Amino acid sequence: MEMKKKLYNDLATYLFNVFGKKVYKITIDAGLTCPNRLNGRGCLYCNDRGSGTGLMSKGYDIETQIKLGIDGLKRKYKKIGGYIAYFQSYTNTFAPIEVLERNWSVIRKFDDIVGLSIGTRPDCLNKDILALMNTFTDKYKVFLELGLQTINEHYLKWINRGHGVKEFIDAIKMSKQYDFHIVAHVIIGFMGETCDDVINLAKFLSSLDVHGVKIHLLYVAKHSPLEEEYYKGNFIPVTREKYVELVCAFLEHLKESIVIHRLTGDAHKGELIAPEWSADKAGVLTDITNTLIRKNSYQGRLWI
Ligand code: SF4
């Protein structure tokens, strides 16, 4: 019997294959900041919580956040095989090494945590930080989530990323020496973005052999500089149809082995300004699936 071809290399299947059980992520706010915010307003799309939960500023330390995360997941799901501690907010390598060690070591207090995921910028890594991350591979699967967003220098400048493509390439080369699962964060939905733009991005990531990709839709979040641009009429969000077309083109040109960690962005509750359609995350995912099926296509079909 012919095996049914998978449309894309989804995260849930990958995690199940790695851990042999269902694991869930707990997002953590370690109360750090980000060099891009200290030097200015930060990335155009970033809100005042550093794209995270803001829990540290509400008085919840890392241990408490993990406990709350575990309790919340237990209420939601019956069968849980373990957790991945995801340091998400701001730039999680932007602090003295002792602080990073203290932050990340909190996970050792929890027997059910099986993975450590660190979200950061490509220009905030060095050998010492990577060596520290490596000490966690003794017991944990370690994920490194690196923000690239786009390889279009014009867009990089417009969103005020504060780094270029070169820094991303250097960070990948440095990190590849370790046994980390490296995830590139990218944004789709820039004004005027074409299929060629996302195809070039997919080819670039494929040639660098990153292990995973997280796609964010460029949406307008409350209290982000982009909100101002949006109300001034300087930013028009991508339509749902165009977004689906761009994501499908990206997937078709992305190496089959790369794990898809996310296919669209989802704003925190009450945080979304535009586009409204992005709140229908399940519907957008269905549109992407249906488009690939209609085209008789799948991830990596046009990669080489
Ligand atoms: S690098 Fe991250 S935390 Fe810093 S401004 Fe950009 S999106 Fe926000």
**pLDDT, tens digit, for every residue of 198-256?**
999 999 999 999 999 999 999 999 999 999 999 999 999 999 999 999 999 999 999 99
Candidate of 90, 123, 158, 161 to mutate for ligand 1, largest count of ligand atoms within 8 Å of Cβ: 90
Residue 35 DSSP SS3: helix
Q: 51 CB under 6 A from ligand 1?
A: yes
Q: How far is CA 69 from CA 45, 61, 103, in A?
A: 26, 12, 16
- Do the Cβ atoms of 123 and 171 come closer than 8 Å? yes
Please state, in angstroms and rounded to a whole number, the distance separating the CA atoms of residues 93 and 172: 15
Q: 146 CB under 6 A from ligand 1?
A: no
Q: 94 CB under 6 A from ligand 1?
A: no
Please tell me which residue, 174 or 56, carries the higher pLDDT value: 174
Instruction: Output the residue whose Cα is nearest ligand 1's atom 3.
Output: 90
Please state, in angstroms and rounded to a whole number, the distance separating the CA atoms of residues 174 and 172: 5
Q: 188 CB under 6 A from ligand 1?
A: no
Q: Tell me the per-residue pLDDT of 83-94, one tens digit each, with 9 for 90 and over.
A: 999 999 999 999
- Do the Cβ atoms of 176 and 133 come closer than 8 Å? no
In ligand 1, the atom with minimum distance to the C-alpha of 90 is 3
- Do the Cβ atoms of 244 and 200 come closer than 8 Å? no
Instruction: Output the residue whose Cα is nearest ligand 1's atom 5.
Output: 42
Kindly report the backbone phi and psi dihedral angles of residue 141, in degrees, each rounded to the nearest multiple of 5, phi listed first.
-80, 125
7 pLDDT band (50/70/90 cuts)? very high
Please state, in angstroms and rounded to a whole number, the distance separating the CA atoms of residues 142 and 116: 5
Q: How far is the CA of 287 from the centre of ligand 1 (A)?
A: 29
Please state, in angstroms and rounded to a whole number, the distance separating the CA atoms of residues 107 and 245: 40
127 pLDDT band (50/70/90 cuts)? very high
Strands 272-274 and 220-221: antiparallel
Strands 212-217 and 181-188: parallel
User: Given this model, what pLDDT does residue 130 score?
Assistant: 98
Q: How far is the CA of 224 from the centre of ligand 1 (A)?
A: 11
Its pTM stands at: 0.96
* Residues present in the chain in total: 304
In ligand 1, the atom with minimum distance to the C-alpha of 45 is 7
Rounded-to-5 percentages of helix, strand, coil across the chain:
40, 15, 40
Q: 47 CB under 6 A from ligand 1?
A: no
User: Given this model, what pLDDT does residue 40 score?
Assistant: 82
